[in-house]
Structure 1
Amino acid sequence: MYFHGTSKVNQKGHLEIGGVDTVELAEKYGTPLYVYDVELIRNRARGFKNTFEKLAVNAQVAYASKAFSSIAMINLVNEEGLSLDVVSGGELYTAIAANFPPERIHFHGNNKSKEELEMALHYQIGCIVVDNFYELELLDQLCKERNQNISILLRVTPGIEAHTHDYILTGQEDSKFGYDLQNGQADIALEKALASKYLDVLGIHCHIGSQIFETTGFVLAAKKIIQKLASWNKRYSYFPKVLNLGGGFGIRYTVDDAPLSPSVYVSEIIHEVREQTSLLGLNMPEIWIEPGRSLVGEAGTTLYSVGSSKEVPNVRKYIAVDGGMSDNIRPALYEAKYEAVLANRPNDKVEETVSIAGKCCESGDMLIWDLPLPKADCSDILAVFCTGAYGYSMANNYNRIPRPPVVFVESGKAQLVIKRETYEDIIRLDMPLIERSVIETL
């Protein structure tokens, strides 16, 4: 079994994370429980940031908070000197509540509301990543009404899509995000943005995919964008201060995954940008990237209590846990795969292959198919690895199941950073039905 970060088997024969016994965590906080290895998050953040510093490149490493957003997580991001991506008013509100420096906040999204843009302007955030003509015009109008300037990045689609080991090069990107680089949309957007007296076109942004295990896609995207920037430099006398090449850096979910280290991704990106700008006689822009999953994904482990089991002769054995698609919807949503062990006896001999079922009233609520395990019963704790990204952030109250708590562990200490929801929390916003006689009089 491959252990991530500080995870190991301790002297009690239990899974330990951040110097803390996971069995003791389950006893203290209950299950399901998200556990985050803070040291691993710090190391990943520094892996990205330090590579830029060693190669003497001006840069911003912005945590894509959609992967996991909470006040404590934003505090940690700030401690490590990262910038922050948000994609909604709620994520921006969380950042402000965490006292994150607004000048290091970047606001993404393909359909930002007027209220969200006004919120961003009110807090004078670092920049807004403009996604479409509607937003460009709305933002310009709001700035005019407030007599306020704002820095922006224009999001473009370079015609490259990358996922895992595959990348696709197309003439025109079919995406809900950004201005197409090939069909003239990006040129028109730049013209409009440069014509505004309120919008400072700080740079260009692109995002080519997710869970990417190679650098080819990033290299191709950088090359295509810089070639376009060379033509813009001649045509508009414009060259961006910032080139944001997004995120999507892969992590190891299972033994089949082989991601690169943060330093390799960054080094290859820097090399290509330097080479292309040098060939074209252009200045080296500041490079921004947006790791999200790659910072927190492997740092998260979810602990479950084992419950019922069911054996279908000559087919499979099901073991159910006290969570499921309500705390990790990724397997049901797109067949995401995970590895797991029994936290209370990870070194025990494997005796059977089972499938881990969730407790939600859906036949598709399956967390892991065909997992090798020792014989398990209701005294056991199942630890599912690599749930730090899009676990809590996509958690839900299906079947009115409360969302689990979140604990940060580091240097032998545990801190509760998000409380477990209660049944009272679930009904807190509910309103009773008004009697028909009262409605008719309104």
Structure 2
Amino acid sequence: MKSGLLFLALLLVPAFAGAYQYDSRLSAKLKKEFEAQLRSVPAGRELYARLEKTKGYAKLRVLVRRDASPCFAWFDPEKNAVYFNSRYILKLFEAKGFKDSQVVEVLWGNKEVRAELVKYSNPIYLHELVHAVQCYLYPEYRQDAGANPLEFEYEAYFTEDIYVHERMKADPALLKSYIRGTYTDLYTDNIFGSYFTLSLDMGRYKEKIRRYYEEQLGGYLSLEKAETLQKNRAADAKIFAYASGDVGNYKRNGDSLARLQKEKAEYARFLEDFYKTRWPAFSADALLFLGSIALEGKNYPLALDCLAVADVNSAGYGLDPEVLGSLKTKGALAILETASFLRDNSKKMDIEVLSQHLKSLEKACAATVRPFPADLLELKDSVYPKAMAYYDKKHSAETAPARKDYYKENLDYFAAAAKAPPGEE
């Protein structure tokens, strides 16, 4: 349906339509329609309450531009605009070969096309609005740190995951379709990619974000590291000032460090409170909800990953005893159902699906201090070497960083767990 909508609409647009003449009108429509979606749940309303206290939000624009980066959208503080990457909009609608001016005009003029974009990308827009409010409240950060603040992503992802959770609890139809494998699109893949990897462990959750932004993307810096670098710059400037008699540069670096330290302290207090008042109650509720939906839809690897987290260390997370009990009960049920499913269906599964079920079952048993089902040990021992070879081949051929990391993670797991062939033990 989405493919036909945009394709037919684009055919009605002249090939050389006036470039970007509909920017302002489209921006107003998107801003209004996204707001209606975001305000439907508490997380969105809370974000708008913060935005409305700033001077910048009233003039914020929502624009569509093509970019070669892997970003679906981004906030530009200098332009005070959230940009949507037209490459991905065209992919959503399975359309090719159209200029930005045409895409902008169609989105402005066709309510149905615009509604589809808003429907599936609203969590991404919310993520970028979090960055907008961060820049409004901490305007000097990029100037003084010289990099994107990693902590801003901790807030943006957590806010997005809370928002997605509230939306899915209100209407789980999209989530159920996605888990059953009957619906997907590139925006939903991205959104659930974060939501599906929630953890009771706050440190583990943040580490996943840190690794992606610091080690893979680059250009991101923690507030702590930024302060250290700025202190070093101030110290260097002091030495040069004494040597040259130029105190101006030294003063500028000192002022910059003072601003950075002030913003670091203010934001650190906010972020600590933001997490502390929501964690782990939110993550436990999300894992229980998502795991239950996955169990209902017979997506056993996801169900196990969500529900079998109530391990021997769970008491340290400060969970409500009733919630902890529910996680343990449903986790045990997920283990039993997965084992039964494997007994009945292992011969019908390809190597990737089969190995992922066995891997999830093994990890769940270990986390909950349960023995792996004895009657499935022979199956596991025969599958793991094949899985190792499969992921080795996939890893060698893959070029996309995210997929390559996924294959490497699985290759390492199955290589470590696979038994040596007879005679080589």
Pick the TM interval, shorter chain.
under 0.3
Q: Structure 1 length as normaliser, TM-score? A: 0.24
Q: Which has the higher contact order (CA 8 A, sep 6+)?
A: 1
Q: Which has the higher helix share?
A: 2
Q: Which has the higher strand share?
A: 1
